[in-house]
A and B are shown apart, each in its own frame.
Chain A
């Protein structure tokens, strides 16, 4: 990975930061923050689902672990928010490694993998809804207390900036994945697992590494979410909504591409707001549109929005296309 590889992530950060400080209204700024958080969750999903070809329906398990960890540490142990952030990411990654260890050891993939991740997230949701440590159904509320160490800002633009910087870091991580040997192994497994194994790739370890990285990134999204709303409960943390939004953003944006999840999150959430506005606030219309877009994407643009750009500039064979069709004929 060279300095040139970091140029695009850097430009993205500068553009987004410029936007955050361009005098957006409070509501638009909140929307931008939310886009960044979903984009991070989707960037996590993309590592496993896009590069590794393993579709998870349960990334909520990681998101929620990150969110709960930081709030529990802050409210009951008085740990500062940044330490909570690190702990949240690490614990989220550990949950990812645990689920990955069990699933990959049993050779689960495809639909089976999707279903088991969903089941794990649901178990966590039900358990956290009654366990005392997670505040039961009441959830956990973090008291309002501005300060850099508390990761709470009177001026929300600073929080937006921090979220943007993390998105930039995740972009750089994805770029590294594209360039590294580890990433190459992962893509090889996605394309043809038997062949990769025959060539000496340690399939189990590479997959385990991918889910750990993926979970950590999504857990970071959970930490930022909790820090932004200062509240988490079982539905917010482990509910299916975040698994679905992460998956949507990654697929619509373009699987296995660096900018796909970011572009997908911005496009979908922006479109969601517009639909809500046009429909006059009828509940569910935004998600209805998301569902339709998902089907259309899978049917007609398997490479997502990023492949549209590549088609326009004449580059061929978008990565995502093979990601979605990899199991064809298998």
Chain B
């Protein structure tokens, strides 16, 4: 079999990629925890953010990591508008309708991008994309190391926003007790939109972390949707800690599967976990409520 060194490196790779997965899942689980909706457009919104990062790099020469400063506010605004003016009003608050509206939204986004950019895959070429960080005998990809730290930092920032700011307190209040929050004067639809926007801002950061090592095409987000859902379900719908742990775990599982079963069948591992968790432990590892 493989030398321990190779296995260790593969698992570390998985862990680092898992941190970015976790960031994507964080947005999804936050939205679920507060709005109690499954946002099927999450993957398509990630694609939008990735195209944004690509456009900034291609046409304005903005470094992908620096583009976080532009893309995070932009995606925040887009997310706010999408929830406030499309998803909220169109779905009349029913679970099934929200699912269908977000599905419709994802199809509009995917195909809008397809019409505008065609289906070519696009990449950003940076000097550091294929640099390595040498950790003893291990060769770690530089962008992935950056990904790990920035993802963890973003989670920390998100936590601070939720715990330490007025907006965060309002979000937590709405998540716990929607009617009560409304009674004490919190504008629920505004809080909903802010939450959705925060989830989209997480996607902007994830997109910036992915672009130096990954490509974007109009359907790129699809590959991440089910991975993100798996993480959210595994960690417990609505649980932030769960999304973090779940993300890292899924990253490692994916790396191990593809090392031992090959990349083709390795993807099945994630879906099987997803199905098993849904069937046998729908509350996930950390979720108390459903």
Contact = CB atoms under 8 A, between A and B. Distances in A.
A125 B13 CA distance: 26
Interface string A279-300: 1001111011011101110110
Contacts of A325: 92, 94, 97
A256 interface: no
A103 B276 CA distance: 10
Nearest to A294: B104
B278 A108 contact: yes
A247 B106 CA distance: 14
Contact of A126 (B38, B100, B265): B265
A55 interface: yes
B264 to A, nearest CB: 5
B226 interface: yes
B100 A55 contact: yes
Main secondary structure of the interface of B (DSSP, over half): helix
A53 B108 contact: no
A28 interface: no
B113 to A, nearest CB: 8
Nearest to A122: B271
B34 to A, nearest CB: 15
Interface stretch (B83-91, B174-182, B194-202): B83-91
Contacts of A283: 114-115, 118-119
Interface stretch (A36-44, A64-72, A112-120, A145-153): A112-120
Contact of B271 (A53, A119, A328): A119
A110 interface: yes
Contacts of A251: 100
Interface string B43-86: 00000000000000000000000000000000000000000001
A127 B269 CA distance: 11
A325 B101 CA distance: 13
A296 B96 CA distance: 15
A53 B96 contact: yes
A273 interface: no
Given A284-B112, A288-B112, A288-B115, A115 B104 contact: no
Nearest to A296: B90
A85 B130 CA distance: 52
B229 interface: yes
A244 interface: yes
B268 interface: yes
Given A284-B111, A291-B104, A126 B94 contact: no
B89 A299 contact: yes
B135 interface: no
Greatest chain A CB density within 10 A among B86, B108, B282 is at: B108
A173 to B, nearest CB: 24
Contacts of A55: 96, 99-100
Given A116-B275, A282-B115, A292 B95 contact: no
A295 B226 contact: no
B17 interface: no
B218 interface: yes
Interface of A: 53, 55, 57, 102-103, 106, 108, 110-112, 114-116, 118-120, 122-123, 126-127, 129-130, 240, 244, 247, 251, 279, 282-285, 287-288, 290-292, 294-296, 298-299, 302, 324-328, 330
30 contacts: A55-B99, A55-B100, A102-B279, A106-B279, A106-B280, A110-B99, A111-B95, A112-B282, A115-B229, A116-B274, A123-B268, A126-B271, A240-B222, A283-B114, A283-B115, A284-B112, A285-B115, A287-B107, A291-B105, A291-B107, A294-B104, A294-B107, A295-B104, A298-B104, A299-B91, A299-B101, A324-B97, A325-B92, A325-B94, A328-B94
Interface of B: 37-38, 86, 89-97, 99-101, 103-108, 110-115, 118-119, 218, 222, 226, 229, 233, 264-265, 267-268, 271-272, 274-275, 278-280, 282
